[in-house]
């Protein structure tokens, strides 16, 4: 009979451990997905900003050597990400492809001027910075006009700020809920062993001796849960890359390594803190409250 009871108790204990690990894994997985969204939202906003059009239209009598010289000057600026020189012939060809007919043959000449397409780094993709850069470029005597869509730049920056605020608020709320869920799961697990804690106290065990196995087991559960959660996140990334190949350009291995590390640290820290607080509660609780 005793063997049967011991076997049943061990089975219940193992079931409790599995439930705890699964619960923590799911919560950490959700936090990891939120981290992915935040990383991609930041990279996507930078990608959009760095692809805003900024066209430098050259004067008609400017020689190609002068245009290339200006392009090299732009490339040397820290806030310029990339430049592209588009000749009159290239511009005419692209415009003809958009219209579906050769307009230069109809007009008898090519009215388009050579341009330099500039892409700035995300930190400078705002109207204040672009206006200063525009005035600086217009000081060059070979430049006829500088064009960019001010309303589009302003709209992109406003939308990025709104989305960032929403993601931050949602992330903070999810983090609080995640901590509460993990804490409740661990408290229930410790609650089921409250009489073991009291028995250890009755035989003279110190608070540190009682807490140590619970805390170590909690840290182990947090570590295992974080590893499983990271594997699930890697699975999501694999599927996302297969379905949306363009995401590869926005991904940086270093950022993902940091995310996986944060999931592990968060899993260990929350389980350690929750176990410590739960065990301390049942160490200090009165005997009649155990029932």
- Show the domains of the chain with their CATH numbers: 2-47+156-290 (no CATH), 53-148 (3.30.70.3040)
Q: Where are the alpha helices (DSSP H) in the chain?
A: 2-49, 64-76, 88-99, 103-107, 127-138, 150-191, 194-202, 207-243, 253-284
Q: Is 27 exposed, middle or buried (0-12, 13-18, 19+ CB in 10 A)?
A: buried
Spell 79-101 as b/e; 16+ CB within 10 A means b. ebbebebbebeebbbeeeeeeee
The reported pLDDT for the residue numbered 178 is 73
The reported pLDDT for the residue numbered 2 is 43
CA–CA dist 253, 215 (Å, integer) = 32
Residue with tokens 């049942």: 282
The reported pLDDT for the residue numbered 16 is 63
How much is the pTM?
Answer: 0.61
Q: What is the pLDDT along the chain (291 residues), one digit of tens a residue?
A: 445 544 544 565 566 667 778 878 888 888 888 887 777 777 777 777 777 778 888 887 888 888 888 888 888 888 888 888 888 777 777 766 666 666 566 666 666 778 888 888 887 777 788 888 888 888 888 888 888 777 777 777 777 778 777 877 877 787 787 777 777 777 777 766 667 777 776 777 777 777 788 788 888 888 998 899 899 888 888 887 777 666 555 566 777 788 888 888 888 888 888 888 777 776 666 655 555
The reported pLDDT for the residue numbered 108 is 60
The reported pLDDT for the residue numbered 8 is 46
- 158: its two tokens: 């406003």
- Give which of 54, 47, 53 is closest to 122, Cα–Cα: 47
In this structure, are residues 57 and 113 in contact, taking their beta carbons and an 8 Å threshold?
A: yes
Q: Is 246 exposed, middle or buried (0-12, 13-18, 19+ CB in 10 A)?
A: exposed
CA–CA dist 71, 76 (Å, integer) = 9
């Amino acid at each position: 009979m005793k063997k049967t009871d011991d076997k049943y108790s061990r089975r219940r204990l193992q079931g409790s451990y599995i439930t705890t690990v699964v619960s923590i894994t799911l919560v950490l997985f959700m936090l990891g997905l939120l981290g992915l969204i935040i990383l991609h939202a930041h990279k996507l906003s930078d990608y959009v900003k760095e692809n805003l059009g900024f066209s430098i239209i050259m004067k008609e009598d400017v020689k190609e050597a002068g245009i290339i010289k200006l392009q090299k000057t732009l490339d040397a600026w820290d806030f310029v990400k990339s430049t592209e020189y588009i000749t009159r012939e290239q511009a005419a060809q692209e415009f003809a492809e958009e219209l579906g007919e050769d307009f230069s043959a109809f007009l008898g000449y090519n009215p388009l001027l050579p341009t330099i397409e500039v892409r700035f780094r995300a930190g400078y993709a705002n109207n204040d910075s672009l206006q200063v850069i525009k005035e600086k470029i217009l000081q060059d005597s070979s430049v006829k006009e500088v064009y960019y869509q001010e309303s589009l730049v302003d709209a992109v920056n406003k939308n990025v700020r709104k989305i960032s605020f929403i993601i931050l608020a949602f992330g903070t709320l999810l983090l609080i809920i995640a901590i509460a869920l993990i804490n409740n799961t661990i408290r229930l697990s410790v609650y089921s062993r409250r009489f073991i804690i009291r028995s250890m106290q009755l035989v003279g065990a110190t608070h540190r001796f009682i807490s140590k196995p619970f805390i170590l087991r909690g840290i182990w559960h947090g570590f295992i849960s974080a590893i499983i959660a990271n594997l699930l996140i890697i699975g999501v990334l694999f599927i996302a890359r297969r379905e949306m190949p363009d995401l590869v350009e926005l991904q940086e291995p270093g950022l993902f390594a940091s995310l996986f590390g944060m999931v592990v640290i968060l899993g260990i820290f929350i389980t350690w803190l929750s176990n410590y607080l739960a065990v301390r509660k049942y160490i200090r609780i009165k005997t009649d409250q155990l029932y």
